Amino acid sequence: MAEKAEKKPKPKKKLFGLFGAKRQEDDAPEAAEAVLDAENTQDAGQPAGATVPKEDPTLNIMPAGESELYKMYCRIKGVPPLPDDAVFDVTQFHMQGLAPNEETREILKKLDRQAETMMRKWLDADAEPVDAEVVLSISHDKMRAYLFIFPPMFGADDVTEEQLRATLAEKGVEHGLDEEILAAAAKHTMLLMLVATGTPVQDGLDGSIVDHYNRDNDIHLTVKWDNTIDYRDLGWLQVARENDTICTIIPPTDAVSGTTVFGKEVKGKNGRKATVPKGTNTALNEEGNLLLSKIDGVVTFQADRFRVDPMLIIEGNVDIAVGNLDVMGDVLIKGDVQEGFTVTASGNVTVNGGVEGAHIQAGGNVQIGLGMNGNTFGTIKAGHDVFSKFFENTNVWAGGSITCDTIINSVIASEGEVLVRTGRGTIIGGQITALLRVAAISIGNPSNRAMEITLGNTAAWLQEKKETEDARAAVLREIDELEKSIRFLQRQIDTPQKKEQLDKMTLQLRMNRLKLGKLDTTYGTILAREADIVKCRLQAEVVYPPLQVTMGNALKMIRKNHYNVLMYHKDGEIHVANV
């Protein structure tokens, strides 16, 4: 090496071309040629990617004044460097296809510090030849190995492929070697090369659930071409037979282990089992991949579980042959409910036919396909919503909304909305009460049949509120009396009997406080339902007099026809607007 250096002494004034005779003769090192296409080289021989300063530099740019690697490149290339405040593209130090990221940026920063040391050696006029230096960098997860070769100085020897392989073997890098890169690496100095890539871990996939029944049991009203609704099919009733499949359970998969560049196994995470939505009257099959119905019934999804509730199906009419019904669960009547009979269910009641002068009570929804004529004494009471083709001479109360095509001479009360917007969309006579809104195509008729509409806090809501307020007041009085008695006894505990009495009172006080907490929750729920009178609305395309409208404490008599009308409450009065 010394003889070679004597044959080709380094220049003493020029600060570029100092890496041996062969490189000086070429005037452009192979490392630069590997990434710097002449067509992409900017003016004055600057490397590709040199730009004016940017306010928001990304990972692939760096100020020229902060990079010793960049200065080394300029010396190799034999071009003057950019001003210190300019930026350049660091990907010029990447082998083709190696994108810039946090990892490569971190490696380049470390190499930059090493380059600073080498730059000082160049300035030493009496420096001895220095062989090319191989730097091996391993990623934090040990899945990537990078090579970077600093060129030889002062005529020293280049690195060989055999030396590179020996370096990798010495460091234990044996898995995922890129033979193509490795074979060419010795020819490319000043380039960051991804020379080995581990086999990544493949974590297992979590199990999943494929539903065969909808989790959404909401009612979906479909208006037909003639503006009517088929009240016999509202889409919410999902019936299952015994052993029907409710959902399929897809099992999790196991992880596939990976391998680091050092040949070490890296274990992944196996997938987690899916939570099976197993509820009342459902069971898994022997293989554990199907959730089945144990009974004939109605499928619903509640509290993150599928459940099947018993359903009584009456193939014909509810008449003298069937009698009154009182069941836990749902009832499906495929025929009619005749006059004088009662149908009571804790769940939903569905009647495909009609109802005449009967009484229907449901904890859930009531659905009547062909409508109901109550003959002045028939009633419906539903915990949730009510749907029917029509109501005539019927008393109806719903904890939710009421939807139908026609209402005639009926007493209707809803804790939600009364919607009569399909079919004829007519309300004639009777009394209509709703917490939020009444909407119809027409209200009243040209023969001037009187009727009343009340919007706002309903009688049922007011009663529930009063009962809860009374219960809270009673519990508060008991708590106050107990606290006084306890304070008195605490000052005079002189016998075992008084100690026992104090313990009983303390326990009763805790129970009353728990009771008060539940009542407070209930009262908060009630207040949340309190009607905001300002939001109450009465809407119709035509309104015939006489009509009495009440909203809160405001009352208005409609004495003439109104068209496309919207009635609302403002400043203590009911206003009528045309829309």
> How far is CA 470 from its chain centroid?
42
Residue of 235 and 212 predicted with greater confidence: 212
Domain end, chosen from 139, 173, 197, is at: 197
The answer as to whether 480 is a domain residue is yes
The answer as to whether 526 is a domain residue is no
pLDDT tens digits along 450-466:
999 999 877 777 888 89
> Over 90: is that where the pLDDT of 544 sits?
yes
Domain count for the chain, please give it.
Answer: 4
Which pLDDT band holds residue 233 (cuts at 50, 70, 90)? low
Q: Tell me the mean pLDDT in the region 108-116.
A: 83
The pLDDT value recorded for residue 6 is 42
Q: Give residue 502's domain range.
A: 467-521
> Over 70: is that where the pLDDT of 379 sits?
yes
Q: Tell me the mean pLDDT in the region 136-157.
A: 87
Same domain? For 337 and 388 the reply is yes
Q: Tell me the mean pLDDT in the region 424-441.
A: 95
Which pLDDT band holds residue 34 (cuts at 50, 70, 90)? very low
pLDDT tens digits along 61-80:
777 777 787 787 777 777 78
The structure tokens listed for 392 are 């005539």
The pLDDT value recorded for residue 126 is 62
In degrees rounded to 5, what are phi and psi of residue 179?
-65, -35
Q: Tell me the mean pLDDT in the region 279-290.
A: 94
Q: What is the DSSP string of 78-128?
A: T-PPPPTT-EEEGGGGB-TT----HHHHHHHHHHHHHHHHHHHHHT-TTPP
Which pLDDT band holds residue 10 (cuts at 50, 70, 90)? very low
The pLDDT value recorded for residue 448 is 87
The answer as to whether 528 is a domain residue is no
Same domain? For 99 and 189 the reply is yes
Same domain? For 291 and 364 the reply is no
Cα(566)–Cα(574) distance, integer angstroms:
10
> Over 50: is that where the pLDDT of 57 sits?
no
The answer as to whether 212 is a domain residue is yes
> Over 80: is that where the pLDDT of 494 sits?
no
Same domain? For 330 and 428 the reply is yes
The answer as to whether 529 is a domain residue is no
> Over 80: is that where the pLDDT of 390 sits?
yes
Q: Tell me the mean pLDDT in the region 35-63.
A: 39
> Over 90: is that where the pLDDT of 349 sits?
yes
Return the percentage of the chain with pLDDT > 90, whole number. Answer: 51
Same domain? For 81 and 177 the reply is yes
The answer as to whether 244 is a domain residue is yes
Helices 459-490 and 496-528 cross at an angle (nearest 10°) of 160
Which pLDDT band holds residue 230 (cuts at 50, 70, 90)? low
The answer as to whether 363 is a domain residue is yes
Residue the block writes with tokens 């304070």: 487
Same domain? For 417 and 554 the reply is yes
Cα 575–578–579 angle (5° rounding)? Answer: 120
Same domain? For 558 and 489 the reply is no
Same domain? For 238 and 271 the reply is yes
The pLDDT value recorded for residue 81 is 79
Same domain? For 455 and 482 the reply is no
The pLDDT value recorded for residue 220 is 64
Minimal CA–CA distance to 395: which of 419, 415, 421, 375? 375
Which pLDDT band holds residue 3 (cuts at 50, 70, 90)? very low
Same domain? For 41 and 156 the reply is yes
pLDDT tens digits along 523-542:
988 887 666 778 899 999 99
**Distance, first Cα to last Cα, the chain:** 99
> How far is CA 498 from its chain centroid?
58
Domain end, chosen from 197, 223, 243, is at: 197
The pLDDT value recorded for residue 73 is 76
Which pLDDT band holds residue 479 (cuts at 50, 70, 90)? very high
Domain end, chosen from 197, 227, 251, is at: 197
The pLDDT value recorded for residue 224 is 73
Same domain? For 301 and 317 the reply is no
Residues 6+ apart with CB under 8 A from 13: none
In degrees rounded to 5, what are phi and psi of residue 113?
-65, -35
pLDDT tens digits along 556-566:
999 999 999 99
The pLDDT value recorded for residue 263 is 94
Assessment of whether the complete model's pTM goes beyond 0.75: no
> Over 70: is that where the pLDDT of 28 sits?
no
Mean pLDDT (the chain, rounded):
82
Same domain? For 187 and 218 the reply is no
